[in-house]
Structure 1
Amino acid sequence: MLAIFLKTLPFFGLIGLGWAAGRARMFPAEATAALTKFVFYFALSAMLFRFTATLPLEQLFDPAFFAAYLSGSALVWGLGFAVARARRRPLAEAAMEAHTAMTGNTGFLGVPMLVVLLGPQAAGPVLMVLSADMIVFSTLITAVITGARHGRIAVRPILLGILKNPMVVSMAAGLAWAGLHLPMPAPLAEFLTLLGAAATPGALFAIGASLAGKSAERAGPALWLSAAKLFVHPLAVGGAALLFHVEPFAAGVMVAAAALPVAGNVYILAAHYAVAPQRVSTAILISTAASILTIPGVIAWITR
């Protein structure tokens, strides 16, 4: 456990450095937004394209894996929704709480950290989790909120949102490259490696800097949402992995990905739709801080 904790410490150290820079106003909100945009559109996209273009297709799509992750995550989504409705929250707020309870920071934290900690063979399972979160559950939350507000589901904005997401585009381009069996020229491979190498420090620093501007409000619901994300979600997908007979290593990566803290893009959605942004912001803050201890425990357990 101590060895795993020490391995994860540099990753959270980068988050802490970003937070300190943000709190000291050495890295203002405008700089955080610019760094996040660089990571999102360039560095992380280069990393994802390289992974998907060079991995065998069978590592990027496993029906049992997808079924297990979607089933376990849908169970947590439903639980979060039911708890919110039991507290008499409106439909849109209940959906946002449900989304918060099961959407982890797979892109900015999971892809860089889990591939380093668990090895290159973890890339395929992590990318499958990322795909499910971005395509299935991001579509679901957008459909529920727009449907609750307008009485109908606006399909065009949902499709445009998916098609404009650089992570989706980069993975789709990588899959096309791999499917066509195109060679990877050495200069292109070196370019993608150099640019993708900026994703890990840039993403972690940006996470910390973005947390510097968040305050702990509406702590009661946020504590429940953080606990659901860090504990209930990995337990649910772990049980589903057993039920669907997912290969053990891939199942372990799935559990580790589910144990990640609440994703920062959930707050972007909450702020955009003006649906429970304080609750979501506090859940991101609490779950990220707590994950310093919980993630090493999960990784130590699954590696055994």
Structure 2
Amino acid sequence: MGLVGKIFPLYGMIGLGYIASRGLHVARESIAPLLIYIISPVVVFAASLNVTISLEVLGFPWFMFGVSAALCLFFYWVGKFFWEDATRNIFAFSAGTGNTGYFGIPLAMLLFEPEVANLYIFTMLASLLYESTIGFYIIARGQYTFRQSLLKVARLPSLYAMHLGLVCNYMGWFPSESLMDFMEYFKGTFAILGMMMVGMGLKGVREKGMDFTFVGMTFVTKFVVWPLVVFGLIYLDQTWLGLLNDALYKVMFIFAVVPLAANAVSMAVLLKAAPEKASFAVLLSTLFSLVSIPLMSLIFLH
């Protein structure tokens, strides 16, 4: 019940987002740019400043980035057999990532010791790197040309915020304590607005209908393929390679069990790539995670 109680308030944010969209007529098209271009870069910059830099810490996010990119590209190919519109693009994007921020951070802090939680928070930047490069490009390709898609990737500020934060961290250039405290407010804002975006996207589900093929396929990628790939890599390393340690195994576990990424809704809205389908799939996967996360925790951690 402790785990369920920790994540349950996030479901309330989804409901508030739906109410804001239906009753207050809040436009999700106004919220998505705020999340992607203003709030997210501040959150990323602060996380990059606070991480303890080492060769292992810097290398592991790239490993997880490779896993995400490989799954995205594979399922982009698979998607051509099911859809001919932008649904294929948002499906491929969703296959390569998960809700590593809104769900992953509280989950890591609840299940693991602070050292592992801090390692996870930095490794989560792999999701940001994926979403800001290959993932964003794949979604953009649903509506834009090759050149236009690359230009949109180049304009994403979060990627530059991550590198700036790491440079300042390495050089020892830190903002004042009051400014660091102020940046903490952006984390809560990011989580609340991100989950409300899911609820806002549900307004169009009743109007445009539900794509159960899309929901089923995204569930397979997130709740079957991701755990199989991650646990397979852990088994391979434990049996043959010996390159990783228990702390990194725990970080990989979080990546494997979180639901679909709420950021998929923000980017789908921004790029006009099937946002209603993304919202419905994210909502169902979030509800399903109430059962799947405790079950996977019981299997993996005991």
Amino acid paired to 2:6: P
In structure 2, the residue matched to 1:66 is 62
Q: TM-score, normalised by structure 1?
A: 0.75
Stretches of structure 1 lacking an aligned partner (at least 5 in a row): none
- Equivalent residues in 2 for 1:78-117, closer than 5 Å: 78-87=73-82, 89-90=83-84, 93-117=87-111
In structure 2, the residue matched to 1:202 is 192
1:233 aligns with 2:226: yes
In structure 2, the residue matched to 1:15 is 10
Deviation at 1:255, TM superposition (A): 2.4
Residues 184 and 137 of structure 1, relative CA distance in 2, 3 Å threshold: closer
CA distance in 2, matches of 1:137, 1:202: 19
CA distance in 2, matches of 1:44, 1:135: 12
In structure 2, the residue matched to 1:54 is 50
Deviation at 1:232, TM superposition (A): 1.4
- Please, which of 199, 206, 218 is the counterpart of residue 211 of structure 2? 218
1:128 aligns with 2:126: no
Residues 111 and 213 of structure 1, relative CA distance in 2, 3 Å threshold: farther
In structure 1, the residue matched to 2:281 is 283
Contact 1:270 1:276 in 2 (8 A): yes
CA distance in 1, matches of 2:59, 2:260: 25
In structure 2, the residue matched to 1:174 is 165
CA distance in 1, matches of 2:94, 2:57: 25
Deviates more, 1:38-47 or 1:89-98: 38-47
Amino acid paired to 1:222: V
Deviation at 1:226, TM superposition (A): 2.0
Contact 2:17 2:199 in 1 (8 A): yes
In the TM superposition, what whole-angstrom CA distance separates every residue of 1:230-269 from its partner, at most 9, and x where no partner exists? 3311321332344453222222222212322222222333
Give SS of 1:107's match. coil
- Please, which of 2, 11, 35 is the counterpart of residue 6 of structure 1? 2
CA distance in 2, matches of 1:186, 1:148: 43
Give SS of 2:101's match. helix
Contact 2:49 2:174 in 1 (8 A): no
Amino acid paired to 1:54: N
Provide the aligned C-alpha RMSD in A: 3.7
Give SS of 1:178's match. helix
In structure 1, the residue matched to 2:240 is none
Stretches of structure 2 lacking an aligned partner (at least 5 in a row): 238-242
Contact 2:97 2:127 in 1 (8 A): yes
Amino acid paired to 1:58: S
Contact 2:68 2:130 in 1 (8 A): no
Deviation at 1:284, TM superposition (A): 1.0
Amino acid paired to 1:86: F
In the TM superposition, what whole-angstrom CA distance separates every residue of 1:84-134 from its partner, at most 9, and x where no partner exists? 2233x23754333111222212233323443344343223333323x3333
Amino acid paired to 2:7: F
In the TM superposition, what whole-angstrom CA distance separates every residue of 1:35-83 from its partner, at most 9, and x where no partner exists? 877777777665544443232112883425532x234334432442343
